[in-house]
Structure 1
């Protein structure tokens, strides 16, 4: 899968790009079922909110076949190879939950700030690719992005260890206010299967979810092989040390796996 010149120009200017319903309902329903089974598991990779609800599940591609296939899917890998101009490896893989009624906030932050400070990533040549597993609506905690904020570079941040169950390098209110005054806020929404990609320095966050509608999103953090991390401090299941270039699978691999699981269950 290749991006058009217009899509690349939009991404380079705005710092994000959303491709609606890139994956089929059959593919995303399969992934959503597998995600719920992972959230129910007692594993160190599954982090929970202070309420006990799931917050994020790391490294599912290493122990679940569905997410192993997704992690090498050409619809996710090829556009980023196109932008970076080189092969990629998986820096991080996570399935973020915004559980109905109890999903907590993600404070305003830049992802590269964490990758640099905690993992020793040299440059912001890694990118998050997000697949919606539920419908993301304006009311159930969509990801909020500050367009063009990536052009500000790596901003000063503070290590917030208290607000939520997950430590994060966060931006202060004055910085966010200044950036929003310049670029506004967008919150991409859409049906399951939509794919959002955004620059490692793009400022973003999300509000809590107090609705009855859950919001699950899979994130692949794809890093240029030449930009591999140098001084990791976090567990390997959070910041991977395997810098092997990703070899993509056939485009229909996920669909075939979904159907084989369905047939085995019948």
Structure 2
């Protein structure tokens, strides 16, 4: 592995706050290539899932498991991504790629994401260790308050897992605990530029508003797990397969396949969207 992605101060910030922002993680040329593929690759559109928020607005995402030889696969397999994940995950085991998703919030119509923890979803996949799971969000377009940027509750990962129920078609955190957290901890709007990366813990409470602006908000979110983190209700295989790391230059310099080869998630196969019986007790 090449030089570490994160400094000791950035690692400390992640453990203290539950997230860390790395500016200019991807170059403008890399973002141009990624965003043009996101717009032009027909597989992204055909495999996009619509999830309604509480107001009925739709938020779109395309989710796939095994990182391939497309430009998004090259980024999620890149030395800088895997090195950063390795520095933050609470394990010495190899880093595995659970899944990546392209988040697509179109102008005026893109829906909200309700307050949740990623582990609120992944608990249903029966992952055992939330400290061995994290997400990396790469902004493909500018994200600000106007177009529904990510909001986080600083330090909320230290709460542990909060109970989750359904908010529209999404999985949402118990609002009693969310409101308690908002009275106790700082609410941060993560306004970021294209190419910035936000690494965040699987138990960090976060949400985003609907996009009511005239500008799109698109981002890639790649989720990583340690190979030592067992999942007892997950049928994909990438979550326990060590990442086949490629050099950072692959995003720009290597020939890339179409995303049509990717193993996209079908909505009916997502364990997080299935009733388990306890969701009705949660105030969302």
TM-score range, shorter chain: 0.7 to 0.9
Equivalence for 2:74: 69
Residue 33 of structure 2 corresponds to residue 30 of structure 1: yes
Distance change in 2, residues 1:62/1:3 (3 Å): closer
Distance 1:89 1:2 in 2: 17
- Paired residue for 2:237, among 236, 241, 252? 241
Q: Which runs of 5+ in 2 are unaligned?
A: 259-284
Q: Distance in 2 between matches of 1:110 and 1:173?
A: 12
Query: Quick check: 2:141–2:193 contact (8 Å CA) kept in 1?
Result: yes
Match of 2:155 in 1: 148
Q: 1:30 to 1:24 in 2, by over 3 A?
A: same
Task: State the TM-score, normalized to the length of structure 1.
Answer: 0.85
8 A contact 1:150–1:199 mirrored in 2: yes
2:195 counterpart residue number: 193
- The match for 2:248 is 251
1:7 corresponds to 2:7? no
How many angstroms does 1:204 deviate by? Answer: 0.4
Residues 91-123 of structure 1 show CA distances to partners (whole Å, capped at 9, x for unaligned) of: 11100111111110100011112101x211011
| Contact 1:39 1:57 (8 Å CA) reproduced | no
Corresponding position: 1:82 with 2:106: no
1:111 paired with 2:118, answer yes
Aligned in 2, Cα 1:146/1:61: closer, same or farther, shift over 3 Å? Answer: same
Decide whether the 8 Å contact of 1:140 with 1:213 is kept in 2: yes
Deviation at 1:228, TM superposition (A): 3.2
**TM-score normalised by length of structure 2:** 0.80
Could you tell me whether the CA contact under 8 Å between 1:47 and 1:57 is conserved in 2?
A: yes
**What's the offset of the Cα at 1:76?**
1.1
* Cα distance between partner residues in 1 of 2:63 and 2:138: 15
Aligned length: 248
1:80 to 1:201, Cα distance in 2 relative to 1, 3 A? same
TM-fit CA distance, 1:138: 2.0
- Structural RMSD (CA): 2.4
C-alpha distance in 2 between matches for 1:245 and 1:78: 13
Measure the CA separation in 1 of the matches of 2:20 and 2:214: 28
The DSSP-based 3-state class of the residue aligned with 1:48 is strand
